[in-house]
Amino acid sequence: MSVDGKHVVLVGHCGPDSFILTHAVRSAVPDAHVSLNTDEKQLWQSPADLLLVNRVLDGWYEDDSGLRLIREARKRGVPAMLISNFPEAQTEAEQAGASPGFGKSEVRSDKARRAIRSALGLEESGDADA
């Protein structure tokens, strides 16, 4: 499967977190286009293949709840994943329709790489062994 054109949007992350998440996405999908969003009104203006949503949003949003934004993304048919170290937040995000996410402490891990690729629908041989 070609990965050309995969667009991943980092939603509500601060500058340093955006930097490390961009690296994580490009490690998983080298040809992905990564953009940053800190404004909910602009978020829905262009298509995305995946939103990586911060648990507590940094920027101009209706409120600071990443979980609320994931629910909105699901209503709009946009795939989303929560970025949070809190297991209970990950569980709630998945119940709201998010793909399984990972925490910022795992951003450089194989788990993060596999989660991003899986959420983008990219299959890898050997993932079952990981």
Residue 4's pLDDT is 60
Cβ pair 83, 53 in contact under 8 A: yes
Q: Is 111 exposed, middle or buried (0-12, 13-18, 19+ CB in 10 A)?
A: middle
Convert 44-58 to b/e letters by CB count within 10 Å (16 or more is b): eeeebbbbbbbbebb
Q: What is the pLDDT of residue 1?
A: 38
Distance of CA 125 to the CA centre of its chain: 22
The domains found in the chain, sorted by start residue, are 7-122 (3.40.50.2300)
Q: Which amino acid is at 25?
A: V
Phi, psi of 71 (to 5 degrees): -60, -40
Alpha-carbon dihedral sign for residues 91, 119, 77, 51: positive
Angle, to 10 degrees, between the axis of helix 66-76 and the axis of helix 87-95?
20
Q: What's the confidence (pLDDT) of residue 75?
A: 96
Where do we find the tokens 């101009």? 60
- Residue 124, amino acid: E
Per-residue pLDDT of the chain (130 residues; tens, 9 = 90+): 344 679 999 999 999 999 999 999 999 999 999 999 999 999 999 899 999 999 999 999 999 999 999 999 999 999 999 999 999 999 999 999 999 999 999 999 999 999 999 999 996 644 443 4
The answer to whether the CB of 26 falls within 8 A of the CB of 18 is: no
Q: Residue 124 has what pLDDT?
A: 60
Query: Which pLDDT score, from 0 to 100, does residue 128 have?
Result: 42
pLDDT at 130: 40
